[in-house]
Amino acid sequence: MPQVRILAKNFMDMVAALPATKLDKLYENPFICEAVLRSLPPLAKKYALQLLFIDSPISAKTMEGWVLADGISKHRVAIDRLLQLRVFLEEIDRKKESTYKLNPKFQGNIQKYLVYGGSLPRQPMPSNVTVRLPTLEDLETYVLEQWEVATAAINQGFLLQLISSSQVEKLTSFSASMMKFFQRGLLSARENEAPKLTENGFQFLLMDTNAQLWYIIREYISTAEDRGVEQMDLISFLLELSFHTTGEAYNLNTLTDIQRSVIKDLANLGLVKLQQGRKESWFIPTKLATNLSVSLSDSSARKQGFVVVETNFRMYSYSTSKLHCEILRLFSRIEYQLPNLIVGAITKESLYSAFENGINSDQIISFLQENAHPRVAERIPAVPENVTDQIRLWENDRNRVEMTLAHVYEDFPSKEVFEATCDFARDMGGLLWEDTDKKRLVVRGEYHQDMKDFLRRQK
């Protein structure tokens, strides 16, 4: 069974992977066109605008001539991207040469947008209605809180016992279906057993927030139809959200029914904050929502690092987060917890338990590097070399022994039979070891049936 691969790619990659018909349908929404345009790499953006008012196809050769020789690789990347997103459509002309033209729907929408400008289906609510809106800082804290709770929920079975009861209560506000899809692939729940984190679950915990968010959103979109939501509607709503202004209030009654059900889930994830006034309710997009299409995996949006690793394998983490503590516990021994510092040590034993859970050394090292405290982040390397080396060496140590299921055969009646058996096993490629003196051999487990048949024939 194919495993769920966690790829920290961005939103647009997902859009690009949609089937052509769905993509074309998306381009009916001018906001999506704009969002796609914004997401393009600079050269691709330039090409798209260059062809905006040209209706006839341009040959690939001509376009190649637009760039200097050393820009050719960038050119290829740009063209590939445009084709993936179906912003460019490729046609083969009579001379059997490729030509490109803009996707007409895309072209039309962007042209209109340029000429008439765009306007959102809803406007921010006047401040006399929404008396006290949260400040941007408040929103930031809200995002972090929501996110911790959400992440914790994903790992519920694992973290619940370690997280204080107040947070557990908070968790229950999640809808059961949300939980289920969160946990899909990250938790394995066998019957009568406490759910256990899967390999992916551990990897998920080690990813940075943006990558985690992306993973969740992707899961959310791909399961949309199970919840009776059209995938296209969801994508276009998410993209539309990214054009809203952070911190402004938007009336909930401007949303469709579907969107209204979606917005509750998004609030759980911290993409929006819901508030209720005396008569009306509104939602306030947070940074997570407005950055969704642009910088999901953009490093600039990353939170400040907090981990200091010393050459003596001590690890000091400036964090108040219980979640951080639990993440660190995955591969280190936590020794002290102070109000704003977690002290731990990376030990062979702690790493071995991490390896056993399917975390590999690269993930641990990149987690430590990406979350390096600003004090040490400029240092090169941010994590001492001897520590990273040792983590890798410990991992290699585990890989020196290869386990092979095998059977041992002994008590051969004669040397001839023994040798014939050895030859037979060797011919199959299953012979692992032989001892001529004691007439014993070891053969790979998968050949056991063949061996049995062979030995029976010898009698």
Q: Distances in Å between the alpha carbon of 34 and those of 25, 30, 271, 314?
A: 14, 6, 21, 49
List Cβ neighbours of 390 (8 Å cut-off, separation of 6 or more): 313
Interface residue with other proteins, options 93, 145, 385, 416 (CB under 8 A): 385
Q: What's the min distance (Å) between Cβ of 385 and other proteins?
A: 6
Strand partners, 273: 284
- The interface with other proteins within residues 365-384 (CB under 8 A) comprises 375-376, 384
Tell me whether residue 379 or residue 452 sits nearer to other proteins (CB atom).
379
The footprint of other proteins on residues 394-433 (CB under 8 A) is 394, 397, 400-401
Q: Which of 209, 246, 295, 347 binds other proteins (CB under 8 A)?
A: 347
Shortest distance, CB of residue 454 to other proteins, whole angstroms? 27
The nearest distance, CB 361 to other proteins, in angstroms, is 14
Contact residue for other proteins among 390, 419, 428, 455 (CB under 8 A): 390
Using the minimum distance from each CB to other proteins, give the nearer residue, 188 or 360: 360
CA distances from 405 to 125, 329, 423, 432 (A): 68, 33, 20, 11
Q: Is 345 helix (H, G, I), strand (E, B) or coil?
A: strand
**Given 3-state DSSP classes, what are the helix, strand and coil percentages for the chain, each rounded to the nearest 5?**
55, 15, 35
Q: Which is nearer to other proteins, 314 or 440 (CB)?
A: 314
| Among 1-9, 256-264, 265-273, 347-355, the segment contacting other proteins (CB under 8 A) | 347-355
Question: Residue 413 has which token pair?
Answer: 């009646």
Cβ-Cβ contacts under 8 Å for 90 (sequence gap 6 or more): 83, 98, 99, 100
Of the pair 389, 453, the CB lying nearest other proteins is at 389
- Rounded alpha-carbon distances, angstroms, from residue 63 to 56, 104, 443: 13, 19, 62
* 6-65 binders of other proteins (CB under 8 A): none
Find the binding residues for other proteins in span 305-344 (CB under 8 A). Answer: 308, 310-314, 316, 320, 333-341, 343
Residue with tokens 């994830």: 269
Ranges within 283-312 binding other proteins (CB under 8 A) = 308, 310-312
Contacting residue, 55, 137, 193, 349, with other proteins by CB under 8 A: 349
Residue 334 or 420: the one with the smaller Cβ distance to other proteins is 334
Can you tell me which residue has the tokens 């039309």?
108
What is the C-alpha separation between 189 and 402, in angstroms, rounded? 29
Q: Name the residue nearer to other proteins (CB basis): 252 or 354.
A: 354
Q: Count of residues binding other proteins (CB under 8 A)?
A: 36
239: left (phi over 0), alpha (psi -120 to 50) or beta: alpha
Where residue 368 falls (left for φ over 0; alpha for ψ -120 to 50; beta otherwise) is alpha
Report in angstroms how near the CB of residue 307 gets to other proteins at its nearest. Answer: 11
Which single residue is written with the structure tokens 């930031």? 140
Smallest gap from residue 310 Cβ to other proteins (A): 4
Shortest separation between residue 378's beta carbon and other proteins, angstroms: 12
Closest to other proteins by CB, 185 vs 344, is: 344
* Cα–Cα distance for residue pair 307/371, rounded to 1 Å: 6
Q: Which long-range contacts (CB under 8 A, 24 or more apart) does 50-53 make?
A: 51/88, 51/100, 51/101, 51/102, 51/107, 52/102, 52/107, 52/110, 52/111, 52/114, 53/111
Does the footprint of other proteins cover residue 133 (CB under 8 A)? no
- Report the residue number, 381 or 445, with the smaller CB distance to other proteins: 381
Residues at the interface with other proteins (CB under 8 A): 308, 310-314, 316, 320, 333-341, 343, 345, 347-349, 351, 375-376, 384-387, 389-390, 393-394, 397, 400-401
